[in-house]
Amino acid sequence: MNVNQISAYLAITLLVALGVAIFRASAVKLKFVDMPNERSMHSIPTPRGAGAVFVSIWSIAIIINSVNDFAVVPLFALAASVVVAVIGAYDDCRSLNVSLRLCSHISAAVFVLFLLRGLSIVEFSVIGNLENPFILNVIGLVSLVWMVNLFNFMDGTDGLAASEGLFVSLVGALVLFFSGDVETATWLFYLAAGLAGFLVWNFPPAKVFMGDSGSSFLGFFFGTVALISHNSGSTTIWFWLILMGCFTVDATVTIVTRFLNKEKVTQAHRTHVFQRIAGKYESHALVVFGYSFINICWLLPLALLSHLHRDWAFIWFVVAYVPLMIMAFWLGAGRVLCVGKLTREIK
């Protein structure tokens, strides 16, 4: 990593911070804001959709970086992530129909899997390998679509999705860089720089929200990068799943619980673990620091172990997820809430 690259990362951070400031001023004038309601985690009108800023600047940086080294497959895969962001931006403005949004996400996922020729063999440590192409592609498709919605669900507390994105992109970039996959690492370094600039305005108390334009992009992009690096052998799919363990477990346990309780899973709610914590302690910052603590002290070491000892990667995945799932059930993820100040707390 040379001086020019470091300068580029700093420039992206500053441009995003400035761009969000301009976006915020314009959104306030145009009254393009999220109004608080009975399901909201905020109490004052806040501009939404600012994720489009870091996605746009990130995209420009990728294009500039690729002028002298144009690789069709990865760039088209990245383009699909940007398309998902555009759909999210439209949803921020006009509220897109759920079915149409889902169909667009499925189409983008099919396109990426076609470009990458599907998901390659997945190793389950001592259990064996999954090699069936049809099953692998179904898993890849469902995973990509779920990743988009997962980040959408988890983007409900100031700074949470952005800090998670910063953690995943920075750690992923460093691991891929030292594994020799410099190109993919560069995409992630650019994203980490952009999210750092975005957090200037999104950290609690948030002055802007990223909206679907940002959260949809993050989910789809991380899913795409996970597939690319897994197929290339730079790392494994288990590495990425461990890194994103907090978000994956919180969202999945919550949705499964609501489904089993015969609740409408597409309806807005406030039953995620992060919403419960924010409501009980009346603090968004506590949620961000709590999730970051788990990421750094628990998930990071296990993700690195899964990368360095790939024969045991699935085992490390299980070790990482079991305590998180127990904690999610214990904290009541997905169960009905009673009245509280910032959110509604369970009895």
More confident residue, 263 or 146: 146
> Backbone dihedral region of 206: left (phi > 0), alpha (psi from -120 to 50 degrees) or beta?
beta
Per-residue pLDDT reduced to its tens digit, 199-233: 999 999 999 999 999 999 999 999 999 999 999 99
Per-residue pLDDT, 170: 98
More confident residue, 82 or 74: 82
Taking the model in full, what pTM does it have? 0.93
**pLDDT range class, residue 30, cuts 50, 70, 90:** confident
Per-residue pLDDT reduced to its tens digit, 110-150: 999 999 999 999 999 989 999 999 999 999 999 999 999 99
Mean per-residue pLDDT over the chain, rounded: 90
Q: Is 47 helix (H, G, I), strand (E, B) or coil?
A: strand
Instruction: List, in order, residues 6 or more apart from 144 with CB less than 8 Å away.
Output: 105, 108, 109, 112, 113, 220, 223, 224, 227
Q: Check: CB of residue 117 under 8 Å from CB of residue 137.
A: no
- pLDDT, mean of residues 296-315: 97
Domain ranges of the chain: 3-236
Euclidean distance between CA atoms 106 and 179, whole angstroms: 31
The CB density around residue 5, as the number of other CB atoms within 10 Å, is 13
Helix axis angle, 245-260 relative to 273-281, nearest 10°?
100
Euclidean distance between CA atoms 213 and 93, whole angstroms: 10
What is the amino acid identity at position 284? Answer: H
- pLDDT, mean of residues 288-315: 97
DSSP code of residue 127: G
Per-residue pLDDT reduced to its tens digit, 170-202: 999 999 999 999 999 999 999 999 999 999 999
pLDDT at 341 over 50: no
b/e per residue, 154-187, with b = 16+ CB within 10 A?
Answer: bbbbbbbbbbbbbbbbbbbbebbbebebebbbbb
Per-residue pLDDT, 343: 37
Per-residue pLDDT, 344: 32
Element (H, E) at 130: strand 129-130
- pLDDT, mean of residues 294-298: 98
Q: Check: CB of residue 186 under 8 Å from CB of residue 68.
A: no
